[in-house]
Structure 1
Amino acid sequence: MAFLFFSALASTSAVAEDLNLAKQAEEKAFAAADQGLWCDATLHFLKAHQEAPAAQYIYNAAMAADSAGDRRWALHLFVLILGTYPDDERTKTISERTQIISQEIAKEGPGNPCATRVADNTPQTQKDAFWLETTPMPPAPPAPSAPTPMVFGDTNIRWTVVATGGTLALGGATMTVFGAYPYIEGLELYQRVLDDNSSQNRQAYTLVRERWQSLGRPVAIAGAAAFTLGGIVTAFGLKWALEKPEGSE
């Protein structure tokens, strides 16, 4: 409940501030009109509308532009009222006034454009609906530069990679030989069984085959994988170690 209260209070304060700014702009507009500065009056009426939108501000701005002799701006603002506030009570009066101004433009030209609005040839992207100059968008911040890649210039690291790969390959080869030993022994025992199909030979062959399947084969496979990986690491390390370091040329 407290949050809703403060939100409503903040919203009310913002609306009051906008109305106050609109009132100040309107007072400046009437002061300019009293001095015959109709273009300035048009500008201030439109600023009042920007602070607190109301059809009356655009209507007064259109009348001021008409008094300034800027027929095109006056016609544009009158038409803008019809499109923005179609239910305004002055719709009939505005429609009649737009017809009169259109006839005046056809006979006498667009009049004298106010310096407080953009020129007629201004691109659409550089003016708002009231023909006021839009605030240019600030330039986008520069994209962050890519991080500098890390350069490994220490040759000790390169040769360490070579040594690591060699150690891994040597260990893998040792594991492969150790794991394959039951398989080789099993081949010899299998030949004995063929020569002498005794229970002792068959039992020995069965034990060796079980040792190969449970221990020898997994060790041999792991050793072969380690040997292959070690060979790859060694080759990469040698290639890296023999490359000329950057900046040495």
Structure 2
Amino acid sequence: MKLAVVDDDPDLASYIQEAMREFGHSCDIFPTGAKLLAARRRDTYDLLLLDWDLPDVTGLAILGQIRSDPSDQTAIIMLTNQSDKDAITQALREGADDYIVKPETAPVIAARIEAVLRRTQQGPSKARFVDFGDYRFDRLNEDVSIAGQAVTLNSKEFALAVLLFENMHRPLSRSYILEAVWHADPHLPTRTLDMHVSRLRTKLGLRPENGYRIAAIAGYGYRMEQFLEGDPA
């Protein structure tokens, strides 16, 4: 999973970053709310560890801004020194998924993150078969069929297709996809992703009339979109 730590304490942020990497999570650090918001315009994060008190804005203000968009389902855990139960209750009511009172150990932080991701269903499904309309994906054999007709995809095409379908209507940045599918340097300039998207569009017939399409988001990445019967193409 790709995480962001938003905290102006560099020692604490680095501690969390290194600890989360040991638990298999990619983790970026931002010392201010403004830097986080700028990064979110070009990248995707599964979960934010958001400090209550930032130099430029409160964590609650950032929380409120993110939760004002109903389509933005990013998981958020508040990092706080607060012992005020009323304040913590307010954050949870305004959309925080959990909170951690600092300081805390790495195993506990990791466990809280994994629990939140399970609850918010950010983690990928582990079921062998995943169905989206006429599309069926078999994780075990990396097979895909459309209305019962087999379609041949290579391993990376299969992984990319499942990632996009499972994140329906969620914008995914290029760096997020490269890390998730290719485990590559997210800043590596490559047209590999674009070529794979083009192949998926052709092989899977991803067009509005077939119910799904991959939309390119200029300067950001891609999003899978579903069209229900009667929706304008």
Structure showing the higher helix proportion among its residues: 1
TM-score interval (norm. to shorter): under 0.3
Structure showing the higher strand proportion among its residues: 2
Compute the TM-score of the two structures, normalised by the length of structure 2: 0.23
Q: Which has the larger radius of gyration?
A: 1
Compute the TM-score of the two structures, normalised by the length of structure 1: 0.22
